[in-house]
Structure formats: structure tokens, C-alpha cells
A and B are shown apart, each in its own frame.
Chain A
Amino acid sequence: MLLAQILLNGVLLGGLYGLMALGMALVWGVLNIVNLAHGAFVMLGGYCVYFIFTGLGIDPFAALPFAFLAIFVLGYLLQRYVLNLIVRSAQLNTLLITFGLDVVLTYLAQLAFTADFRTINPSYAGANVTLFGLTLPLLRFAAFVAALLFAALLWVILQRTRLGRAIRATAQNLTAARLYGVDPAQLYALTFGLGVGLAGAAGGLYGMVAQVTPYIGATLTAKSFVITIIGGLENPFGIVLGGIVIGIIEALASIYIGATFTDAISFGLLLIILIVRPMRGLRTA
């Protein structure tokens, strides 16, 4: 296959990954919660869109906002009534509780949806366009564009709305934000909801290009980590770019090296980045 084609495939997939990682980065950057259940929310978003599409016949892209909303509400409630209870606890505890949540969500999904593979297959799924000798699968391209749109939406919310300002203030200094009238419980819940909502939207897109099962969460969480570290917590563009980098690496690896090494390569990259370019506040001595 032409190198350019591989790169194109990688970029298209990567946009989706970037959106997925944005959700994790938001929660991590603002709430200082590393969400090990992140992939589970992606998975649930995928199921949402799948069922809206197959059950109600609504176009998957039109279903995305509903999936986003549904997962947003779920995330809001979880943060407000469960996670807010342990927020000031040691780091390890947030890792553990989100791990527990991941187990609960995965197995609830298994009970509710069975382990069958699901794909979201709209009628235009097979359509291609040829551009400069490269095949551009329309569905994947649309998914890529949708991912970028959601990312832009996040940017707009963060930069131009009151809520976004409050979120950014809280990320910098919770105490100061409190003094300005920010209600932390509400804000944390909204931010978490927003973060996992984006994950859910990414899940809906993921279901269009790959298969959804209850178990896809773990790998997607790991992928989101790697992308978040590569992109850095401060910079949303960096994260989308990081997603594209991972997408390209995966595309290259699956053709030239084989699937076994894909994980190892991503993590190898992660290790290198952590060692060579530690983020602010990262080092001890």
C-alpha cells in the first residue's frame, strides 16, 4: 500500500483518538483525576449511537449529540454523587475508584448488551472518493471532521463561555475560583460530564470505523493516556495532534510490523517522552 495512503488512514483515525484523549485531558487537567474508566465511557457512547441508529433509524452523525448528552448526564451524576466524595484523597485512590467504576461499567455493559461485536453501518459506509490517487473513505472522513468539530466546540466552550472561564479558573486555583463564587461541586460535575461526554461522542465515531464490545475500554483508556502525555495537559491542539501521531504510528505499525507491537510502540514512545520532555512540575530532583 502506498505510504501516503497509510498516512491518510492514520490521520483519519487519529482525529478520533484526539477527541477521545481531549476528554481525558480535560478531567485530568481541571480535576486532577486520572480516569481509568475513560475508555468505558467511550464504549458506552458507542453503544448509545449504535442503538439510536439501529433502533430508531436515525443517522449516526445526528445521533452523536444525543450520545454526548446521555454520557454527559451519566458523568455529571457520577462526579456529583460518587467521585466528589474522594476528590481530596490520595492520587492512588482516584486511580482505584475509577478502576472500580471501569469494572462496574464494563460488566453492566456485558450484562445489558452481551459480548457481541457491534458495528455502526450506515448506508453510505462503503462509499469512497478518490483524491490525488488516494482512496478517501467517506465515512472515516466524516468521522474525522466530526471529531475536529467537537474539539473546536470544546475550545469555544473553554475560551468564550462563562462556564469555560470558570473551568479554566478552577484548573489553575480552586481556592481562588471558590472566592469568585464558583460552586466546586457543580463545576467539577459539569467538567467531568463534559470530559466523558466527549469520550462518548468519540465512542460513537469509533463505532463507525471499528467494532464495539464491552471490553474495548481498557485499550482506549491506555491510548488516551499516551496521547494526553504526548500532547501535554495544557494544550488542546497538542492533544489532537498527539492523537494523529498515534493514529499514524498504528497505521504504520500494523502494516510493517504487525499488531503485537502496536501497544509496545505506543508505550515505548510514552516512556521516551516522559524521560526526555517532562512536563512542568513533573520532576522531583
Chain B
Amino acid sequence: MLRWVVPALCVIALAALPLTGNDVLVQYGIDALLFATLAQAWNILGGFTGYVSFGNSSFYGLGTYGTAIAMAQLHWPFGVGLALGAFLAVACAVLFGIPILRLRGHYFAIATLGLSATLAAIIANLNISGKNIGLILPLTRADNAFYEEALILLIAATATVAWIAKSRFGTALLAIREDEDAALVMGINTTRYKIAALALSAFFTSIAGGIHAYWITFVDPAGSFDLTLNVRMIIMAMFGGPGTVYGPLIGAFTLSAVYDVLASSISTAAALLFGIVIVLAVIFMPRGLWDLARGFRQDGVRYFLQNIRANRL
């Protein structure tokens, strides 16, 4: 019972944020919530199976374009647009996953690198997607609605991850991460589980994309299929704690704040610092903030040394 108190309080606090009337805060909040969803969605495959997807920006892009095409070209409502985006993304995940998820670890990662570029090139050449110019979506209601929608999406994604963590499905994913050969002989159809995880990941990612598209009322190939978006969601998930329920959220919220603060100052120094932080984080806290909190409480500074000792040559 007590486990629910803190998360519930957080949800209430977050939901109440728009009441402050501070527009900048709400806008920052929408961004942070959407990024948290992206990190959480990425976590489903990346954190639980250890398979790094650089293709989530593709699912995001399909989500933005599904919504944009539905609303701007076909004049369908927002909900239908989101559904179209999700359908495209999940279909893409499954079609791509079937041949590619048979590959191991970093080959999968590299294969996904190409997906965004390929999709962007295709979209940039179709009329219905507005070619290179992109599409403009109908202007709409206040930010508060987007904020609450983003919050609901994040809650749904987190609840899904919480379910995964305690389910038979999740056990299969973890076994794949820990030792795929052993998982195979123990009866796990690894390819099927990986595809399912990728599809779930694609689903939430695409809805986040759809919400974002309607919010900024504009999509174009470069912005929708931007690989740096994917890198950011990976870093957020990894920094916070891959394979955990709350890790990606913590990573997303802290790094969003850091990113914005740094970006408003000197941008080169900011990027440089970001890079150094990543390098140091991988060395000293490879399991993310969530594990750092637990480990530091247990072992203090020795936690960092333990990590190095476990991972060094």
C-alpha cells in the first residue's frame, strides 16, 4: 500500500501544475512529460532486453506524420490521427522487427540507425506528407489540454512498464538481456518477445509524437525523424536507470532540466559538458541514477569503485 503513496502524490502534483498559471512552466512540463514517455518507451526494449534501438525516432516520426496527415490532409479528428500514427508505427516495428530482431545486440542497433534516414527520405518524397516542406496542423486549444494528455500518456507508459516488471512477459525479456543463448534453451521464443517489446515501445513513442505534432502544429521530415531525439531518449533512460520502472522518469526529468539550463547559456560549453557527463556516467554509474541511489545508500563512495572494478579490463 505504502508503495503507491509517493507515486500518487507525484501524479497529483504534476496534474495540478497547470493551475499555477505559469505558461512557461506548462510548456516546459509538456516537453519534459513527452520526453519522459519517450525514455520510458525506449526502456521497454532497451532496458529490459538490452537491445539498443536507434529506430525509436522513426516511430516518433511516424506518429507525428500519422497525426499530421490525418488532421491536415484528411480532416480527421485528433484521436483518429493518434490512432493512425500508432498503427503506422506498430506496423513498422513488426515488419522491421521480424527480419532484424533475429540479429544480436549491436547489429540490431546499427540496423535501426538506418531506419530513420530511410523513412525520412521516403516521407520527403510523398505528396500526402507534404514532401520536404512538411505539413501544418490546425491551430488549437490551450496548452493545458496537451499537458494533461502528455501526463496521462506517461502514466499509461509507466503503468505498462510496472506491469512488465512483474509479469511472465517481463521475465522473458530480462532472461534475453541476461543471457540470450541460455534463454533460448530454456524455452523462450526470443525473437517473438523482442518483437512484442519493440511494438509496445513503438506504440507509446508514436503517441508522444502525435501529441507533440498537434501541439507545435507543424511537422517536417528533418524534425520528425531526427536521430538526436533518439540519442536523447537513450541517454535519459540509461542515466536514470534502464530496466527499472522509475529510472527513465528520473533520468528524463533531471536531464531535461540540465539540458534547458545549459542550452540557455553558452551552447558549445553546454554540449561539451553534456558529453563529459555522459562519459563519466558510463564509468561511474553505468546502471543509472536509480541504482546509484540504492548503491550509494548501501556502500557509499565504494559504489563507484565497485562499478569500475566490475567493468574494467
Q: Which residues of A approach B to under 8 Å, CB–CB?
A: 34, 82, 84-93, 95-97, 99-104, 106-108, 110-111, 184-185, 188, 222, 225-226, 229, 260-261, 263-264, 266-268, 270-271, 274-275, 278-279, 281-285
Contacts and interface: CB of A to CB of B under 8 A. Distances in A.
A284 B282 contact: no
A34 B283 CA distance: 16
Contact of A92 (B50, B111, B121, B189): B50
A222 B311 contact: no
Nearest to B191: A285
A85 B308 contact: yes
B272 A95 contact: no
B114 A268 contact: yes
Interface stretch (B80-88, B102-110, B165-173): B102-110
19 contacts: A34-B106, A34-B109, A89-B282, A93-B282, A96-B234, A101-B275, A103-B275, A104-B275, A107-B269, A108-B272, A111-B272, A264-B117, A268-B118, A271-B115, A274-B103, A279-B107, A282-B107, A283-B103, A284-B102
How many chain B residues sit at the interface, stated as a range, is: 35 or more
Interface of B: 46, 50, 52, 99-100, 102-107, 109-111, 113-115, 117-118, 120-122, 124-125, 180, 184, 189-191, 231, 234-235, 238, 242, 268-269, 271-272, 274-279, 281-283, 286, 308, 310-313
Nearest to B121: A264
B111 A97 contact: no
Given A86-B282, A89-B286, A282-B103, A100 B275 contact: yes
Contacts of B274: 103
Is the contact region of chain B dominated by helix, strand, or loop, or is it mixed? helix
Contacts of A91: 50, 52, 105-106
A91 B238 CA distance: 13
Is the contact region of chain A dominated by helix, strand, or loop, or is it mixed? helix
Given A104-B279, A284-B104, A285-B191, A87 B312 contact: yes
Listed residue (B107, B238, B271, B310) with the most chain A CB atoms within 10 angstroms of its CB: B107
Given A34-B106, A85-B311, A107-B275, 18 more contacts: A85-B312, A86-B286, A93-B282, A96-B238, A97-B282, A97-B283, A100-B275, A103-B271, A103-B275, A103-B278, A106-B275, A111-B272, A184-B313, A263-B117, A270-B110, A270-B114, A282-B104, A284-B102
A91 B310 CA distance: 14
Contact of A284 (B190, B234, B275): B190
A279 B272 CA distance: 36
Contacts of B190: 284-285
B118 A88 contact: no
Contacts of B109: 34, 95
B286 A270 contact: no
B268 A267 contact: no
B283 A274 contact: no
Nearest to A100: B278
A89 B285 CA distance: 11
B238 A283 contact: no
A261 B46 CA distance: 29
A22 to B, nearest CB: 17
A141 to B, nearest CB: 31
A267 B52 contact: no
A229 B110 contact: yes
Nearest to B176: A284
Given A96-B234, A100-B279, A260-B124, A283 B110 contact: no
A284 B271 contact: no
A275 to B, nearest CB: 4
